Amino acid sequence: MLQQLANGVLIGCVYSLIAIGLTLIWGVMNIVNFAHGEFLMLGMFVAFWGYALWGIDPLWSIPASAALLFLLGLAIYRFAVSKVMKGPMLAQLVVTFGISIFLANLAVLLWTPDFRLIDKPLLAGTWNLGPLQISVPKAVASAGSVLVSGALLLFLQRTRTGKAILAVEMNRDSALLVGIDTERVNALSFGIGAALVGIAGGFLAMYYYIYPQVGGLFGTLSFCIVALGGFGSIGGAFAAGLLVGIVQTLAGYFFDPAYKYAVVFLLYLLVVWFRPQGLRGW
């Protein structure tokens, strides 16, 4: 039971890292990035190619994943998302779907649908902590996720740009009033959001298999997590990620593994019905 809880927390931390990127984008721009799973996939492929071509372990290529995804996020914002900001809600919903289909299949074209695995990662094996067996790569990924989330919070709360982002998140019009360039904030947030999930991809690549459609389930889960946590709330997203990880694992262990994701989705529905703004949203 304790082991399952531990596992839940471990996978939950990775979910959290994926989710905070999404919630940042959502909070700032009110756009659900349905291509978030594909950003994760790209982050994983950066790690993979770094390993396959130059022997760089995924741990060290994480900054590259972050940087490349940041740039991609900026580009996607500039060329697609920014143009639908003033458009109808449906366009906002669908544009990132289109991007997600495009990216996943571009990956198929470029890298074949074969899945890949990093077979000799630096971090492998298991730690035995008393009665618990903790997988080393998962533990490092979780620690990394906590660190990155912490860094993000610091950035948002302590730096000028960060505070500008928070301001736009809280109230777009007031932010405009005080002269904040909301367009720049949007672009930055999209880029940072993408970078964050790119980092998650780098961590995940240490132990999970990589292929063009890998973003699917992770993506769907991250939407639920973010909505659970409340749109825009970084802390909420983090907590919700952990919650989902734990619920998923315990449901799989005690109830039925075939239904474990259904339980997560049911949880989402229940929370959203009784508290539509999520756990900590506004």
Partner 1 sequence: MVKISLAAAAVLLALGFPLLFSGPFPLHVAIVTLIFAGLGVAWNIMGGYAGMFSFGTAAFFGIGAYTSTWLSTAHGVNPWLGLLAGGAASALVAAAIGWPCSNLRGHYFAIASIAFAEIVRTHFNNWKLVGAAEGLMIPIRDGGLRVFQFNQSKAPYYFIALAFLALALLACRAISRSRMGYYFRAIKESHELAMVLGISFVRYRLAAIMIAAFIAAACGTLYAQYVLYIDPESVLILSVSVQVVLVTMLGGAGSLFGPVIGAAVLVPLSEITRAQLGARGTGVDMILYGALITLISVYQPKGIWGFFAGGLPRRKRPAPQPRLEPSSPGVA
Partner 2 sequence: MLNAKRTLLLAAAALIALPALAENPKVIKIGAVYPLTGNIASTGLDCRRGAELAVDIINGKYDLDLPLARTEGIPGLGGAKLELVFADTKGEPKNGLGEVERLVSQEKVVAIIGAYQSSVTKTASQATERLHIPYVCSDSSSPTLTQRGFKYFFRASPHDALFARDQFNFLKDMEKKGQKVKRIAVLYENTEFGSNVGKEVVKLAQEFGYELVADISYAANATDVTSEVGRLIKAKPDVLMHASYITDAILFTKTFKEMNFRPKAIMTFAGYIEPAYLPTVKQDAEGIVVRSTFALDLAARKPLVAKVNELFKKKYGTEMSENAARSFTAPFVLAAALDRAKTTDPDALVKAIEATSFGPGQVIYPWEGVKFDPQTHQNVFARGILVQIQKQQYVTVWPFDSAAAEPLWPLPPWGTN
Binding stretches for partner 1 (CB under 8 A): 26, 30, 32, 80, 83-84, 86-95, 97-106, 108-109, 113, 160-161, 164, 173, 176-177, 179-181, 183-185, 220, 223-224, 227, 231, 256, 258-259, 261-262, 265-266, 268-269, 272-273, 276
DSSP 278: T
Stretch that binds partner 2, among 58-66, 147-155, 165-173, 257-265 (CB under 8 A): 257-265
> Which residues, in sequence order, are CB contacts of 143 under 8 Å at separation 6+?
13
> Which residues, in sequence order, are CB contacts of 204 under 8 Å at separation 6+?
14, 40, 43, 44, 141
CB 215 within 8 A of CB 104: yes
If the CB atoms of residues 86 and 120 are measured against partner 1, the closer one turns out to be 86
Q: For residues 217-236, which are near partner 2 according to CB under 8 A?
A: 217-218, 221
Q: For residues 117-176, which are near partner 2 according to CB under 8 A?
A: 117, 119, 126, 133, 135
Under the criterion CB under 8 A, does residue 3 sit at the interface with partner 2?
Answer: yes
Looking from the CA of 281 toward its CB, the CA atoms found within 13 Å total 22
> E strands, 76-170, where?
126-129, 132-135
Question: Contacts with partner 2: how many residues (CB under 8 A)?
Answer: 33
Q: Tell me which residue of 16, 54, 4 sits closest to 226, measured CA to CA.
A: 16
Stretch that binds partner 2, among 44-52, 105-113, 164-172, 191-199 (CB under 8 A): 105-113
Under the criterion CB under 8 A, does residue 55 sit at the interface with partner 2?
Answer: no
Under the criterion CB under 8 A, does residue 257 sit at the interface with partner 2?
Answer: yes
If the CB atoms of residues 183 and 256 are measured against partner 2, the closer one turns out to be 256
Stretch that binds partner 2, among 72-80, 92-100, 110-118, 235-243 (CB under 8 A): 110-118
CB 79 within 8 A of CB 16: no
What's the min distance (Å) between Cβ of 94 and partner 2?
22
End-to-end C-alpha distance for the chain, whole angstroms: 35
Q: For residues 200-219, which are near partner 2 according to CB under 8 A?
A: 207-209, 211, 213, 216-218
What's the min distance (Å) between Cβ of 47 and partner 1?
22
Give the whole-angstrom CA distance, residue 269 versus residue 257.
19
Angle, alpha carbons 195-200-206 (nearest 5°): 135
If the CB atoms of residues 119 and 173 are measured against partner 1, the closer one turns out to be 173
Figure out which of the listed residues 198, 252, 278, 281 binds partner 2, where binding follows CB under 8 A: 252
Buried b (16+ CB within 10 A) or exposed e, 240-258: bbbbbbbbbbbbbbeeeee
Radius of gyration in angstroms for the set of CA atoms belonging to the chain, rounded to a whole number: 18
Binding-site string for partner 2 from residue 6 to residue 35, where x marks contact by CB under 8 A and - marks none: -x---x------------------------
Q: How far is CA 272 from CA 84, 258, 267, 275, in A?
A: 26, 23, 8, 5
Under the criterion CB under 8 A, does residue 51 sit at the interface with partner 2?
Answer: no
The residue ranges that bind partner 2 (CB under 8 A) are 3-4, 7, 11, 108, 112-115, 117, 119, 126, 133, 135, 207-209, 211, 213, 216-218, 221, 248-253, 257-258, 260-261
